[in-house]
Amino acid sequence: EVQLVQSGAEVKKPGESLTISCKASGYSFTSYWIGWVRQMPGKGLEWMAIIHPGDFDTRYSPSLRGQVTISADRSVSTAYLQWSSLKASDTAMYYCARQNDGMDVWGQGTTVTVSS
């Protein structure tokens, strides 16, 4: 079964760092781009960034460039989304998804809450 399994919910303070993960299984990890999508509370979907684990090519939304870093580890078929200094406005649900013809496989989501 093709699936993406994300790491668990996080509660952090402003200024802290965080890395969340997305583990792929059931397909060739290096053959597809993996993207990250943000959904702030009660809001719509926002495309953030994408990485190709085959060559580590990355693309970011201009509005988020410098705010987050995406990476991947081929040895464990896992993609990551990292913050060096969280803000309250980073509070959201974060989804990873495989980019095929459309985003065809989604993780279950990781809730990130940033509060002092």
Partner 1 sequence: DIVMTQSPDSLAVSLGERATINCKSSQSVLYSSNNKNYLAWYQQKPGQPPKLLIYWASTRESGVPDRFSGSGSGTDFTLTISSLQAEDVAVYYCQQYYATPKTFGQGTRLEI
Which residues of this protein are in contact with partner 1, per CB under 8 A?
A: 35, 37, 44-47, 50, 59-63, 95, 97, 99-104, 106-109
Which is closer to partner 1, CB of 44 or CB of 116? 44
CB of 97 to partner 1, least distance (A): 8
What the block records as the tokens of 102 is: 């459309």
What the block records as the tokens of 46 is: 């926002």
Is the CB of residue 79 less than 8 Å from the CB of residue 70? yes
CB of 66 to partner 1, least distance (A): 14
CB of 21 to partner 1, least distance (A): 16
Which is closer to partner 1, CB of 27 or CB of 47? 47
Question: Cβ contacts of residue 35 below 8 Å, gap of 6+?
Answer: 47, 48, 49, 50, 51, 96, 97, 98, 99, 103
